[in-house]
Chains A and B, each alone.
Chain A
């Protein structure tokens, strides 16, 4: 997946000379995960910029760059570090169009890896997407495949509104798949049926969609037909796609890595209640992290949802009498 992101950044910078990539260690070093490798050689130091270690101005300067007619693609090295830019991202970037009543677009993309499972130190693994989903003006994309990483990143960079582009840390190298060579744009707000199934649907995004597919494969071995709906973006949310997927089978679970309380899974379930209540044959269960700070290395495998927990939740939901 990280090669798909790198390839897309090359393509978008070649396609539109207004695109600038900047962040900590993105230029000479090519990014700590190699996502921005080679960009400085291809596009030069004016468009690919190593920034001082200061998240608030990495995000905040994007407002001025956008107003100057450029297309900023900022990188925050880990989403957990975005707390140090939250006042700019939420209070300023997300509100630029609104507070200027449309004088200024905010074609700003903020890329950040997120999610756990790779034994990082504190504050490298947090899944903060639901906190940002509560901030009108931002869009949030979270691809689960290499092809979608390309299509959604291209869409994000070309979008006239700010997009928080969340890249699964665990998936950078673990998620592999074909990537279209030609111009490939996946519109935000359109979910993807990653598996089709008739007994239950697992709703997920980012790396959890990958795990959900593995869970569905395991359940299929027992003759259970389980679908997976990959949301791709949580803002905008594909409400119609979600309602159709859940209503057609009547049973669903939602997987997220964030803590249970006020995670985006809660929003999904509220939306399912709005649209699918009379089609449901069982309550919709959440498979989540717990309501604790993201744990240290020896504990994180017990916190992050895995295939076993997803399978167990699916079996519980399937066992409920209608």
Chain B
């Protein structure tokens, strides 16, 4: 993990690191997609099209001082914030409660399924950091669709009032499931919405990690310098389905999907780095193999965790600091019921 405060200009190692995060993100996402298709994982949202903007943004943040409040598509490429992020993602996607438990040193909030709900949280965190005098800032990711939610407007408005050190990364990938951006807003751009909140908005190519990095770097300088928030609209194209439950051919033409795939960010950035002598097909295969191996480790860990999951304990844990008397009774009843069913099964008398 690179832990230094980001420099304005990424050096060669940083450039390679960004591409490695992008490649790993695509490998992780594809592995999860395939596992879902095999029935071994729940519904998930592939990263397709967001690799560059996530890895680019992350490389302009300091994982030791800054926080990330993601939605649910970005985690695959957030490796800079900790190798273990993928462990949480896999646990989350198999439906293990520990999928939301990021270790203390990971400044990442868990998956947010209720769209835009993380934006008030991010602003609250930024506000809290300002009050307590903590260094650093907060970055939150959300989509073009989420920018129609009231939570976005309420939170961005408050951030403007407080000059909170927060960076809004609005991922405009063209689609909110089947709803195109033209049906999402009448504004000339999503970035233009920032004007009304009293802070700058900027539109960047979300398929160019260095463009996103430069924008986030500038936003971070503002934020940690006490000059308040910034909105970055990272424009990309989702080149696959919204989630594993979605069939984009219902609302997108085959041509348009193919064009989106042709311009996917990894190929583009790999070509740039190859030209500079920093990348090769061989290097790409090595990085993919390493990501596959890391995913295997995450998968094995998730299966061990699933095997030891005790439902009567896990259901009632972490609802309150201490379970209420009523919950303790319920837990006891569930355990007794499960024991009775297990005993019945052992005796061959379990009802069907």
In the complex, the answer to whether A236 meets B326 with C-beta atoms within 8 Å is: yes
Say yes or no for B131: interface residue by CB 8 A criterion: yes
CB distance from A13 to the nearest CB of B (A): 13
CB distance from B108 to the nearest CB of A (A): 11
A46 neighbours in B (Cβ, 8 Å): 131
Contact of A87 among B114, B319, B321 (CB under 8 A): B114
A-B contact count (CB 8 A): 140
* Complex CA–CA separation, A103 to B126 (angstroms): 18
Contact of B100 among A64, A100, A159 (CB under 8 A): A100
Q: Which of B108-126 contact A (CB under 8 A)?
A: 109-110, 114, 117, 119-126
Contact digits for B82-104, partner A, Cβ 8 Å, 1 yes 0 no:
00000000000000011011111
In the complex, the answer to whether A136 meets B319 with C-beta atoms within 8 Å is: yes
A237 neighbours in B (Cβ, 8 Å): 324, 326
Using A52-B154, A69-B132, A236-B325 as known contacts, say yes or no to A64 and B320 having CB atoms under 8 A apart: no
In the complex, the answer to whether B321 meets A100 with C-beta atoms within 8 Å is: no
Using A70-B132, A99-B100, A236-B324 as known contacts, say yes or no to A64 and B319 having CB atoms under 8 A apart: no
* Complex CA–CA separation, A100 to B120 (angstroms): 17
B324 neighbours in A (Cβ, 8 Å): 189, 235-237
Contact of A61 among B110, B123, B325 (CB under 8 A): B123
Say yes or no for B311: interface residue by CB 8 A criterion: no
Say yes or no for A97: interface residue by CB 8 A criterion: yes
Contact of A64 among B104, B125, B326 (CB under 8 A): B125
Contact of B125 among A67, A91, A189 (CB under 8 A): A67
* Complex CA–CA separation, A88 to B150 (angstroms): 11
* Complex CA–CA separation, A20 to B131 (angstroms): 10
In the complex, the answer to whether B114 meets A98 with C-beta atoms within 8 Å is: no
Which chain B residue has the least Cβ–Cβ distance from A107? Answer: B321
A88 neighbours in B (Cβ, 8 Å): 117, 120, 151
In the complex, the answer to whether A52 meets B157 with C-beta atoms within 8 Å is: yes
Using A54-B158, A68-B132 as known contacts, say yes or no to A60 and B114 having CB atoms under 8 A apart: no
In the complex, the answer to whether A103 meets B101 with C-beta atoms within 8 Å is: yes
In the complex, the answer to whether B120 meets A60 with C-beta atoms within 8 Å is: yes
CB distance from B183 to the nearest CB of A (A): 23
Say yes or no for B155: interface residue by CB 8 A criterion: yes
A54 neighbours in B (Cβ, 8 Å): 154, 157-158
In the complex, the answer to whether B319 meets A91 with C-beta atoms within 8 Å is: no
* Complex CA–CA separation, A60 to B161 (angstroms): 16
Say yes or no for B263: interface residue by CB 8 A criterion: no
Contact of B129 among A20, A59, A68 (CB under 8 A): A68
Say yes or no for B134: interface residue by CB 8 A criterion: yes
Contact of A160 among B122, B150, B321, B326 (CB under 8 A): B321
In the complex, the answer to whether A61 meets B124 with C-beta atoms within 8 Å is: yes
A72 neighbours in B (Cβ, 8 Å): 124
Say yes or no for B276: interface residue by CB 8 A criterion: no
In the complex, the answer to whether B121 meets A64 with C-beta atoms within 8 Å is: yes
Contact digits for A64-99, partner B, Cβ 8 Å, 1 yes 0 no:
111111101000000000000001100110000111
A47 neighbours in B (Cβ, 8 Å): 131
In the complex, the answer to whether B110 meets A99 with C-beta atoms within 8 Å is: yes
In the complex, the answer to whether B121 meets A67 with C-beta atoms within 8 Å is: yes
In the complex, the answer to whether B158 meets A64 with C-beta atoms within 8 Å is: no
CB distance from A233 to the nearest CB of B (A): 10
In the complex, the answer to whether A91 meets B131 with C-beta atoms within 8 Å is: no
CB distance from B152 to the nearest CB of A (A): 10
In the complex, the answer to whether B128 meets A97 with C-beta atoms within 8 Å is: no
Say yes or no for A206: interface residue by CB 8 A criterion: no
In the complex, the answer to whether A64 meets B101 with C-beta atoms within 8 Å is: no
Say yes or no for B317: interface residue by CB 8 A criterion: yes
In the complex, the answer to whether B326 meets A239 with C-beta atoms within 8 Å is: yes
Using A102-B317, A239-B325 as known contacts, say yes or no to A68 and B117 having CB atoms under 8 A apart: no
B69 neighbours in A (Cβ, 8 Å): 64
* Complex CA–CA separation, A70 to B104 (angstroms): 17
Which chain B residue has the least Cβ–Cβ distance from A162? Answer: B320
CB distance from A43 to the nearest CB of B (A): 12
Which chain A residue has the least Cβ–Cβ distance from B151? Answer: A56
5 interchain residue pairs of minimum CB distance: A64-B124, A68-B128, A60-B120, A61-B124, A64-B125
A residues in contact (CB < 8 Å) with B: 20, 46-47, 51-52, 54, 56-57, 59-70, 72, 87-88, 91-92, 97-103, 105, 136-137, 139, 159-161, 189, 235-237, 239-240
25 A-B contacts (beta carbon < 8 Å): A51-B158, A52-B154, A52-B158, A54-B154, A57-B120, A60-B123, A60-B154, A61-B123, A62-B124, A65-B124, A65-B125, A66-B128, A69-B128, A72-B124, A87-B114, A88-B117, A91-B114, A92-B114, A98-B318, A100-B101, A100-B110, A102-B101, A137-B319, A159-B321, A161-B320
